[in-house]
């Protein structure tokens, strides 16, 4: 985790008053005192008068809402910044629109050694066909081009980029004129990213963190690794986060470890765990998530990168070294491999040690009652992305295309995870889906499969406190005295409280409920606007028109 030097902590004492403070300490709180980077007090407006003369600054909230800052528990910071600064195809509605954007980008950047883009999703296009190599060659004028699919687990590229990777045709996942997956994809991605200069990379990271701060995000979990980015990219990001005001960055490095030497390398890089995107499988969109039964639209079961024995070895080594282990697992067969591997490690080291380590699983989309129960038993944190369901769920979405409607309806069962006691940490997997915390909370509360919905309150907790708990911090992500002063100030409408017997449809504005309210996140309602984001007492974003 990036450290917060003393210079990053605001030593002033600040009183915020005349607003709504979202805190379990007092459901009617309207004021908060922050001192030396921590919450010192929360309470009523009348009691705030006693502090007014003894603080360095008084902020009149004018009715604004103050909440804990969000934690995005799964982010790829540099890739997000490159998308923000470059060619973003997520809005392309057709293949022709995507090719127009490629042509415009190529014309606007005549000096780039390699053209980079992200976000195409042929599953949403009429005909379902990605760009061909010949079409990309024409659109770029024969220049090297790398275009990652929206899930970042496959890519289409130009011939000129293939020419930069000797032996590419012999690598697993290569097809003459189809998206590249597996080793072939990793090789072309490495060649493309090698063309990014250190300054471009730093500007991308800076753009990503600034954007996160503008959305009320106070912490991000960077999920890096040798198959995703470089060591220089990872250490450079942690250094930037320590040097400049912005969200905290918690670093994970997804490399298998076998002994103390490997664990030492992970620590030297600045990571808190050998976790994040350590791939057990791929993704559903790219047909590489590992399934027990074949895809409905393909005659195979995807790709398995690690088996249960490899999972067990990694979890054992991490636990003995005092590191978090974690895995990317989406398909049901991949999730089964993780569960079997972690249980084997528990048989060797004892269940108490495994549970205490808070190992984590990223995505965990295809779960069964049995694997959900195993997550709870083993103390595994489910680091999940509700926006995946908003984007790909439903009877006609990508999930249904890949799996059939019946299997698709089982995906992302957030309510069952919570009922069973599995800790949830919400994230975006940006740039796969955008940084959008309130949209993420809404997606969980209005899941396309009603039985998987959770309350807004539970979703909000998973996106604030859940990320802190996932790194072993139970004292943060909530505005109570003694907690780190990581918070956001919002312009929003009336605050509502959901009735507990109906998670979504029934709302109340009755203050007698004694429960802190949250904004109305019903579909179509305007989402809150971030006015200010504060990390460790220091403002890292202030809206210009505030």
Q: Three-state secondary structure along 451-519?
A: HHCCCHHHHHHHHCHHHHHHCCCCCCCCCCCCCECCEEEEECCCEEEECCCCCCCCEECCHHHCCCCEE
CA–CA distance, 365 with 381 (Å, rounded to integer): 13
Pair (91, 163) in one structural domain: yes
Q: What per-residue confidence (pLDDT) applies to 227?
A: 86
Per-residue pLDDT, 498: 60
Q: 166, 224, 233: which is closest to 194 by C-alpha?
A: 233
Q: Which of 151, 175, 193 is the last residue of a domain?
A: 193
Say yes or no: 59 and 98 in one domain: no
Given a contact cutoff of 8 angstroms between Cβ atoms, the answer to whether 144 and 158 are in contact is yes
Assess if residue 182 is contained within a domain: yes
| CATH at residue 537 | 2.30.40.10
3-state secondary structure of 9: coil
151 shares a domain with 181: yes
Same domain, 20 and 127: no
Residue at 498 is within a domain: no
Please give the model's pTM, rounded to 2 decimal places: 0.91
Q: Is residue 150 located within the same domain as residue 45?
A: no
Clarify whether residues 184 and 109 are in a common domain: yes
Cα–Cα distance, 349 to 319 (Å, whole number):
8
Would you say residue 380 lies in a domain? no
- Residue 273 inside a domain? The answer is no
One domain, residues 127 and 43 = no
Same domain, yes or no, for 167 and 90?
yes
Distance CA 217, CA 464 (A): 9
Cα dihedral: 63, 64, 68, 69 (round 10)? -170
User: In the prediction, which pLDDT does 516 show?
Assistant: 84
Q: Residue 316 and residue 22: Cα distance in Å, rounded?
A: 40
Verify that 100 and 142 share a domain, yes or no. yes
Instruction: Give the Cα separation of 533 and 542 in Å (integer).
Output: 7
Domain boundary among 167, 193, 219: 193
Tell which of 173, 193, 213 closes a domain: 193
Check if the beta carbon of residue 454 is closer than 8 Å to that of residue 444: yes
Q: What is the DSSP code string of 342-403?
A: HHHHHHHH-HHHHHHHT-EEEE--S--HHHHHHHHHHT-EEEE-HHHHHHH-STTSHHHHHH
Residue 516 and residue 213: Cα distance in Å, rounded? 24
- Asked whether 363 and 384 are in contact (CB, 8 A), the reply is yes
pLDDT by 10s per residue, the chain, length 546: 444 443 466 678 999 999 999 999 998 999 999 999 999 999 999 899 999 999 999 999 999 999 999 999 999 999 999 999 889 999 999 999 999 999 999 999 999 899 999 999 998 898 889 999 999 999 999 999 999 999 888 999 999 999 999 999 999 999 888 899 989 999 999 999 888 899 999 999 999 999 999 999 999 999 999 988 899 999 999 999 999 999 999 999 999 999 989 999 999 999 999 999 999 999 999 999 999 999 999 999 999 999 999 999 999 999 999 999 999 999 999 999 999 999 999 999 999 999 999 999 999 999 999 999 999 999 999 999 999 999 999 999 999 999 999 999 999 999 999 999 999 999 999 999 999 999 999 999 999 999 999 999 999 999 999 999 999 999 999 999 999 999 999 999 988 876 544 444 444 444 444 578 899 999 999 999 999 999 999 999 999 975
Range of the domain at 535: 6-69+479-492+528-542
DSSP 418-448: HHHT--EEE--TBTTS---HHHHHHHHHT-S
* 428 token code pair: 């975006």
With respect to residue 220, please indicate whether it lies within any of the assigned structural domains: no
β 65-68/487-491 pair status? antiparallel
Quote the number of domains for the chain: 2
Tell me, yes or no, whether 95 lies in a domain.
Answer: yes
Which CATH number does the domain housing residue 126 bear? 3.10.310.70
Within this chain, do residues 90 and 127 fall inside the same structural domain, yes or no? yes
Q: Is residue 307 part of a domain?
A: no
Same domain, 81 and 179: yes
Q: Are 87 and 139 in contact (CB under 8 A)?
A: no
- Domain shared by 35 and 94, yes or no: no
The distance between the two most distant Cα atoms of the chain, rounded to a whole number of Å, is 73
Identify the pLDDT of residue 508. 42
Tokens of 330: 């989406």
In this structure, is residue 180 part of a structural domain?
Answer: yes
């Amino acid at each position: 985790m990036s450290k917060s030097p003393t210079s990053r902590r605001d030593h002033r004492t600040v009183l915020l008053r005349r607003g709504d403070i979202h805190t379990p300490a007092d459901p009617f709180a309207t004021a908060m005192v922050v001192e030396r980077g921590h919450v010192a007090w929360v309470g009523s407006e009348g009691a705030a008068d006693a502090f007014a003369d003894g603080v360095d600054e008084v902020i009149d909230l004018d009715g604004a809402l103050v909440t804990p800052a969000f934690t995005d528990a799964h982010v790829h910071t540099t890739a997000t910044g490159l998308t923000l600064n470059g060619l973003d195809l997520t809005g392309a509605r057709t293949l022709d629109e995507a090719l127009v954007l490629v042509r415009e980008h190529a014309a606007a950047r005549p000096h780039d050694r390699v053209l980079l883009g992200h976000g195409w999703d042929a599953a949403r296009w009429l005909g379902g066909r990605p760009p061909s190599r010949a079409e990309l060659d024409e659109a770029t004028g024969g220049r090297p081009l790398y275009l990652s699919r929206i899930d970042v687990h496959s890519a289409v590229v130009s011939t000129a980029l293939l020419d930069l990777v000797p032996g590419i045709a012999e690598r697993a996942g290569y097809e003459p004129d189809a998206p590249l997956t597996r080793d072939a994809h990793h090789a072309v991605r490495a060649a493309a990213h090698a063309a990014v200069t250190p300054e471009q990379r730093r500007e991308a990271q800076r753009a990503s963190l600034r954007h996160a701060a503008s959305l009320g995000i106070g912490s991000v979990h960077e999920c890096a690794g040798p198959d995703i980015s470089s060591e220089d990219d990872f250490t450079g990001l942690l250094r930037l986060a320590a040097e400049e005001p912005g969200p905290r960055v918690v670093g994970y490095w997804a490399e298998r470890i076998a002994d103390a030497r490997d664990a030492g390398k992970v620590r030297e890089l600045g990571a808190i765990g050998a976790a994040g995107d350590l791939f057990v499988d791929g993704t559903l969109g790219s047909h590489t998530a590992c399934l027990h039964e074949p895809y409905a639209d393909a005659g195979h079961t995807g790709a398995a990168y690690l088996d249960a024995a490899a999972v067990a070895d990694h979890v054992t080594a991490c636990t003995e070294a005092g590191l978090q282990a974690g895995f990317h697992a989406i398909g049901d067969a991949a999730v089964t491999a993780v569960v079997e591997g972690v249980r084997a490690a528990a048989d060797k080291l004892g269940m108490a040690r495994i549970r205490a380590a808070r190992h984590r699983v990223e995505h965990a989309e295809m779960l069964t009652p049995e694997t959900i129960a195993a997550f709870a038993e083993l103390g595994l944190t489910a680091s999940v992305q509700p926006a995946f369901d908003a984007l790909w769920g439903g009877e006609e979405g990508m999930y249904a295309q890949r799996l059939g409607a019946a299997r698709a309806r089982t995906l992302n069962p957030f309510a069952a995870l919570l009922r069973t006691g599995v800790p949830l940490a919400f994230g975006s997997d940006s740039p796969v889906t955008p940084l959008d915390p309130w949209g993420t909370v809404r997606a969980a509360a209005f899941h396309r499969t009603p039985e998987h919905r959770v309350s807004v309150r539970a979703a909000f907790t998973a996106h604030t406190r859940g990320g802190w708990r996932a790194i072993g911090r139970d004292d943060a992500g909530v505005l109570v005295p003694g907690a780190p002063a990581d918070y956001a100030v919002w312009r929003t409408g009336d605050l509502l409280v959901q009735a507990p017997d109906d998670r979504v449809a029934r709302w109340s504005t009755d203050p007698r409920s004694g429960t802190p309210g949250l904004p109305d996140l019903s579909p179509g309602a305007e989402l809150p606007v971030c006015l200010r984001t504060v990390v460790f007492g220091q403002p890292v974003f202030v809206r210009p028109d505030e």
